[in-house]
Amino acid sequence: MNSWSEMFQQQPIVSKMITNSIKKSRISHAYLIYGDKGTGKVELAQLLAKSIFCKNKQGYEPCQTCLDCKRINSGNHPDLHKIEPDGASIKTEQIAHLKKEFNYTGLESNKKVYIIEHADKMTDNAANRLLKFLEEPSQETTAILLTENSQSLLATIRSRCQILSTRPLNSKQLELKLMETGITEANARILTTFTRNLAEALEKSNDTWFAQARKLVVQLVEMLQNNRDEVPIFVHTQWMPHFKEKNQLQEGLDLLLVWFRDVIHYHMDDPSSIVFLHQMEKLEQASMYWSIQDITKHLQTIMEAKRKLEQNVHPQLVIEQLTLQIQR
């Protein structure tokens, strides 16, 4: 993300707030940007720093080609300091070092910017030290604190910052981010059906329980089409042992909902909406077996089963009824 015009696509509100303050030359002494992993916090901080240092900027847009912009891109601008956790935490010495660096005047200007990533990981001592630093702001210093968890920061630090929050990614953006990490399109699409949070999606992609849950859903549906007699034993020996907890069972039913919605999308020749992308053949078989009307009824039945689970009806009973009701 190299320009504000790109950033506006992903994070319009925060971008608007920051670029307004750049336009009016009213940049705060301290910003706290919080939001989920992958929502562009680091990129926002980097862009703000560029807009502060770039001498050829057009309005608020940095030029990307001057020495300042290039140095920021390569991570070695002398007046931009970044702090990240050293191991599990950000330690007092790291903040002390920052303070010392800031006592030197800049070569070309007195402007200084520091970015603290995972600011919630500061030890209590480090946080108190930073607080003192924030309490004596020099005219030309800008602090940018980033966190996924703003509530873990000292209230006294938060109160000194202009607080900005990034919005979660939409499903398409998250899908692309997941695919950048090597996850297939089919898997990325299923993951984004369950979460809009990159960290959670990545965790789920490595979750063997979730992978097995998906398989069981496909198996159950196949059995409902082809071997109805074997469904009770399948529910008893495979389904129930896997979906032991109520929330797990809800997730299993959510997958079942996704599957049947996919069959409807298949019927309607709308492949771009299909989630179980790697099961097209089975979706085709299901669409020949069940009409759209059948499936609409099944979706209602599954929703009803989810409600019963919430009302603490015995899980095994809920699933047995559900599989009986899903008929042709």
Q: What residues make contact with Zn ion under the rule CB under 5 A?
A: 54, 56, 62-63, 66, 69
Nearer to Zn ion, 18 or 309 (CB): 18
Nearer to Zn ion, 62 or 252 (CB): 62
* 3 state DSSP class of 212: helix
Nearer to Zn ion, 62 or 315 (CB): 62
* Least Cβ distance, residue 57 to Zn ion (angstroms): 6
Q: Which two tokens stand for residue 255?
A: 């997958």
Q: In whole angstroms, what is the distance from residue 291 CA to residue 119 CA?
A: 54
Task: Using alpha carbons, list the distances in angstroms from residue 196 to 13, 14, 204, 252.
Answer: 18, 19, 12, 18
Q: CB of residue 47 vs Zn ion: minimum separation in angstroms? A: 11
Q: How far is the CB of 106 from Zn ion (least distance, A)?
A: 16
Which residue, among 202, 239, 262, 255, has the nearest Cα to 315 in the 3D structure? 239
Ordered DSSP codes for 262-309: HHHHHHTT-GGG-S-GGGHHHHHHHHHHS-HHHHHHHHHHHHHHHHHH
Angle between helices 246-267 and 208-226 (to 10 degrees): 60
Instruction: Single out the residue of 223, 216, 225 nearest to residue 328, CA to CA.
Output: 225
Distance between CA atoms of 115 and 280, rounded to whole angstroms? 47
Q: Specify the residue, 73 or 321, whose C-beta has the smaller distance to Zn ion.
A: 73
Which is it for strands 162-165 and 30-34: parallel, antiparallel or unpaired? parallel
Nearer residue to Zn ion within complex by CB, 77 or 298:
77
193 with 223: CB under 8 angstroms? no
Nearer to Zn ion by Cβ, of 113 and 274: the residue is 113
Least separation in angstroms between CB 16 and Zn ion: 21
CB of 51 to Zn ion, least distance (A): 9
CB of 54 to Zn ion, least distance (A): 3
Residue closer to Zn ion (CB basis): 63 or 163: 63
Q: Name the residue with tokens 């030197």.
A: 104
Measured from the CB of residue 71, what is the shortest distance to Zn ion in angstroms?
10
